[in-house]
Amino acid sequence: MTTVDTALSAAAKAGLARLDSQLLLLHAWGQAPQSAGALRAWLLAHGDDALPPEVQVRFEGLVQRRSSGEPLAYLTGHKEFFGLALAVDARVLIPRPDTELLVNWALEVLAGPWATAPHRSPSVLDLGTGSGAVALAIKHGQPHAQVDAVDASADAVAVAESNARALGLQVRFLVGDWLQPVCGRYDCIVSNPPYVADADPHLPALRHEPLQALVAGPDGLQDIRTITAAAANHLHPGGSLLMEHGYEQGPAVRRLLAHAGFTEITTRRDLAGHERCTGGRVIRNALPPLVK
């Protein structure tokens, strides 16, 4: 007989962290993710209970996949971000806690007195939205904002649209390459673009996630260059461009923003003290003409 405790012990011997094992067992049992904390406590209190055979088979399969390096979020099908429960799968990058720094900064910008004209809702554009994590978190934090989001992958946009429906958040999603499908101007453009270099030694550890959402040329700055060069054309005077980047890329991103005519260029650090997000504002008297 396989019990809860013996199943979790076997998973530990396979190299899984206890929390991962518990969450996978709950998932194999068909339990809802929002009650995971209470259900983990239940598992601890029912360690001698026998596993139903079908649950044991599902759990062992999940343990094998997790042991091979497949991310927990893909196995359970969900990931929490900024307090929102998001559905995720191999079509999208898994949202990282560091990206919440970008969301908080955008919400500050959208609340700023200079950001909006009277009687107009603040507007924000999320480039490379993936699962919709950033766009949906901003809409959740600033319900009156008009939020658009773009991704080159139609599969990713399908995931994002599904998350928006599940959360009851109104965001307009577009399929296209960065700013190509966008018309009009915004108060704030945000992006967590690919910023990993082609030959980065950490890429094998990320092999289960979509490569196109990670890699951006020999130095990891290819997409940031594209965004920086075009963003001012889609910002209101005084509008901001905010981007996440690699922890060593801050100086290069600041130079790119300066070269593109942005001012008040600032970099913010993550909880580990690494430079993680950099942004700047459009100079009012240097705004280029709007073109499609």
Partnered with residue 243 across adjacent β-strands are: 191, 278
Query: 64 and 88 share a domain?
Result: no
Query: 105 and 247 share a domain?
Result: yes
Q: Per residue in 69-113, pLDDT tens?
A: 999 999 999 999 999 999 999 999 999 999 999 999 999 999 876
Partnered with residue 244 across adjacent β-strands are: 277
Q: Per residue in 105-136, pLDDT tens?
A: 999 999 876 555 555 789 999 999 999 999 99
Cα–Cα distance measured from residue 13 to residue 82, given in angstroms and rounded to the nearest whole number:
33
Cα–Cα distance measured from residue 203 to residue 79, given in angstroms and rounded to the nearest whole number:
21
Predicted confidence at residue 93, as pLDDT, reads 95
Given a cut of 50, is residue 185 above it in pLDDT?
A: yes
Q: Which domain holds residue 205?
A: 80-286
* pLDDT band of 257, cuts 50, 70, 90: very high
Average the pLDDT over 204-229 and give the result: 91
Predicted confidence at residue 175, as pLDDT, reads 98
Is 266 among the domain residues?
yes
Instruction: Choose one of 47, 76, 105: the last residue of a domain.
Output: 76
Predicted confidence at residue 283, as pLDDT, reads 77
- What DSSP character marks residue 196? B
Query: 70 and 87 share a domain?
Result: no
Residue whose token pair is 């809702």: 121
Q: Determine how many CB atoms are found less than 10 A away from the CB of residue 242.
A: 25
* pLDDT band of 206, cuts 50, 70, 90: confident
Average the pLDDT over 255-264 and give the result: 96
Least confident residue range of 13-17, 141-145, 149-153, 171-175:
13-17
Query: 8 and 98 share a domain?
Result: no
- pLDDT above 90 coverage of the chain, percent: 65
* pLDDT band of 291, cuts 50, 70, 90: very low
Query: 254 and 274 share a domain?
Result: yes
Is 38 among the domain residues?
yes
Predicted confidence at residue 159, as pLDDT, reads 98
Continuous segment of H or E residues that includes residue 258: helix 250-259
